[in-house]
Structure 1
């Protein structure tokens, strides 16, 4: 059990990860928009954070590598949890994070670190209520990535889309084995808004039906 697992907070933490070009940021923004439209109190965030440390990481992947970068990312995440995410969860908000631990497993894995090493740096983080991992055919996301341009050295490496896609498949299995509620969604042919609809359905399951004089949705009054 991680240190934060002893006390679950009343809010809901949703994390969304996936390879560059998979539609993650567009999907995340749409999920926040849809949940807000229902009247829910939603807090959107991103990792790395928008703090000075987070911006250093975001723009410093050409400078920092391997275990040094992994430690920076873990430190930024733990600070963001304490200063931003956990207070929002304590306030019963739905927190939707663009990237979380799965991205560290994959990207630091591309730097040669094992999943176990990255997990050891992050095993005290708050477990999400739903960890969504988006993935797609590597050729499709490679084309999307080329169209929008690379955001980091990870996305500029040869066959980055193939390596990231495989990494996220492995990360999903690795985290499920550690008790994380992981859902994987394929965005190869689906628009980000369609994927966002699916995620919102997972967050807000349909209300149960109650029979009225023997009539339910499964037993309608009229054929």
Structure 2
């Protein structure tokens, strides 16, 4: 299903700078007059809040199902409405993170892909990466946010799994931009993403009318 807006996702290992880069990108796009909606997963909706609060206690397939349930709820109540209005939607963590974090929890990729078979795919999936030693240093400076980040072997495993996730997304027809942020500032990363964005879709009269009625 097409929509007049653009859907951009940012994924990558913990401590890589996703939130800072997303906020910087949102500012750059707003400076040039775009309507931008920034969001994240787990979402701020009830299922997302429950998932975030219990991610250290619920494991494996059960957590994967919670993440997917939140994603479908997020799509219906937040992502699709903004995309239908023609907004550029930026999401901190999406399918690529599922294909990494849930695999760290021993959930096989085919199960995850089946679970997410009906989601809205991004117009551009951005994967931020870095050298494992750089990620480890950033995590120590920031502090761990979930159980995986206490494992010193996780950064290297995540980097490898994100490479695999990028290949999987491309096989699904998703455009993927991978940026090594080892020496890249959030501003420069945001500029690179901005320059790689697909052009806005042209609005037809039906889109305009729908927007006017919603406003």
TM-score between both structures, scaled by the size of structure 2: 0.90
In the alignment, structure 1 residue 21 sits paired with structure 2 residue 12? no
Alignment correspondent of 1:172? 166
Name stretches of at least 5 consecutive residues in structure 1 with no aligned partner: 1-6, 206-223
Q: How far apart, in 1, do the equivalents of 2:114 and 2:175 lie?
A: 19
Q: Which residue of 2 aligns with 1:33?
A: 27
Aligned twin of 2:5: 11
Q: Distance in 2 between matches of 1:39 and 1:137?
A: 35
Give me the whole-angstrom Cα distance separating, in 1, the residues matched to 2:27 and 2:124.
18
After TM superposition, what 4+ stretches of structure 1 lie above 4 angstroms from structure 2?
A: none
> Could you tell me whether the CA contact under 8 Å between 2:13 and 2:155 is conserved in 1?
yes
Structure with bigger helix share is 2
Determine the structure 2 residue equivalent to 1:96: 90
- Displacement of 1:204: 6.1
Which residue of structure 1 lines up, in the alignment, with residue 203 of structure 2?
none
CA–CA separation in structure 1 for the residues paired with 2:97 and 2:73: 17
Q: 1:9 to 1:204 in 2, by over 3 A?
A: closer
Q: Counterparts of 1:49 and 1:34 in 2: how far apart (Å)?
A: 23
1:191 maps to 2:163 = no
Partner of 2:209: none
In 2, Cα distance between equivalents of 1:29 and 1:112: 32
**Secondary structure of the residue that 1:73 maps to in structure 2?**
helix
Matched, 1:128 2:126: no
Q: Secondary structure at the match of 1:59?
A: helix
- Which is further off, 54-63 or 27-36? 54-63
Q: Which whole-Å deviations, capped at 9, do the CAs of 1:103-127 have from their partners, x for residues lacking one?
A: 0110000000111111111111111
Structure with max Cα Rg: 1
Q: Can you give the 5+ residue segments of structure 2 that lack an aligned partner in the other structure?
A: 200-215
| Counterpart Cα distance in 1 of 2:40 and 2:145 | 15
CA RMSD in angstroms, aligned pairs only = 1.0
- Pick the aligned partner of 1:77 from 65, 71, 75: 71
Look up the match of 2:45: 51
Equivalent-residue separation in structure 2 for 1:148 and 1:173 (angstroms):
29
2:123–2:198 CA contact under 8 A, matched in 1:
no
Aligned mates of 2:151, 2:58 — CA distance in 1: 16
In 2, Cα distance between the equivalents of 1:159 and 1:146?
A: 13
Aligned pairs, how many? 199
Matching residue of 1:139: 133
